[in-house]
Amino acid sequence: MIELTDIKKTYLMGETEVHALNGVSLVIPDGAFVAIIGPSGSGKSTLMNVIGCLDVADEGTYKLDGQYVKDMTERQLGTIRNQKIGFIFQQFNLLPKLTAYENVELPLIYQGLSHDERKQRTIESLTKVGLADRMDHKPTELSGGQQQRVAIARALATHPTLILADEPTGNLDSQSGKEIMQMLKDLNAEGRGIVLITHDTWVASQADEQVRIVDGQIETKGRKGGAQ
């Protein structure tokens, strides 16, 4: 359960203040599938980074599963990123020198799992995204869609309860985009919460709830089917 209350984040660009987030309040229950939409520069990624504990808000409170994020140590935040949350980025963010297998294994290494357990989970995740036969490929030897699937496998490997995806289909053709969306829907069906940022109206329409952000503020929230 994510509870954001009056979150503000301001960047200082020279003399001018940029209010990337200007009082965002949002509750995302466990297992929800939420799409965040809005124009470029409206603060979507900033919000996502706050939710993912990659960044901290300047003002407001963020409660994750009942705990105030502000009170957590750096180590606790690291553990949350490692165990509770799986990230999927627009630029995939795979480590270029590692193979698909090693990329997926990495968060499990940081968890301190045994070799056998890592192997089992890594193969399981890669199989799930349909890349069991590409395990030894480096990212450069994979297509964009395949790279994003490796990234999904990496996010999945730790069995997170929440998956954060910042424009996961933004760099992909529509066919690959559809495949990725199907995977996310399947993950949501397993009970994992998904927060997804997109510009694509079709992608947004796949979510249960759409949150529209403009100028760092929530403009509208809408459930699937148009209900407010």
Ligand X SMILES: Nc1ncnc2c1ncn2[C@@H]1O[C@H](COP(=O)(O)OP(=O)(O)OP(=O)(O)O)[C@@H](O)[C@H]1O
Q: Which one of residues 44, 121, 154, 212 is an interface residue with another protein (CB under 8 A)?
A: 154
Q: Is 20 in the site for ligand X (CB under 6 A)?
A: yes
The residue (of 12 and 227) whose beta carbon lies closer to ligand X is 12
Token pair recorded at residue 122: 């890594």
Task: Please state the closest distance from residue 112 (CB atom) to another protein, in A.
Answer: 6
Q: Is 206 in the site for Mg ion (CB under 5 A)?
A: no
In this structure, how many other beta carbons lie within 10 angstroms of the beta carbon of residue 160? Answer: 21
Task: Please state the closest distance from residue 29 (CB atom) to Mg ion, in A.
Answer: 24
Q: Which one of residues 45, 122, 146, 148 is an interface residue with ligand X (CB under 6 A)?
A: 45
**CA 92 vs CA 1, 4, 13, 139, 140: distances in Å:** 26, 27, 28, 9, 12
Q: Is 44 in the site for ligand X (CB under 6 A)?
A: yes
The 8-class DSSP code of residue 149 comes to H
Q: Which one of residues 93, 161, 171, 217 is an interface residue with another protein (CB under 8 A)?
A: 93
The residue (of 33 and 92) whose beta carbon lies closer to another protein is 92
The 8-class DSSP code of residue 39 comes to -
Q: Is 99 in the site for ligand X (CB under 6 A)?
A: no
Provide CB contacts within 8 A for 151, sequence distance 6+. 88, 89, 92, 93, 94, 103, 168
Q: Which one of residues 22, 45, 49, 103 is an interface residue with Mg ion (CB under 5 A)?
A: 45
Where does 139-201 show beta strands of DSSP type E? Answer: 162-166, 193-197
For binding to Mg ion (CB under 5 A), which residues are involved? 45
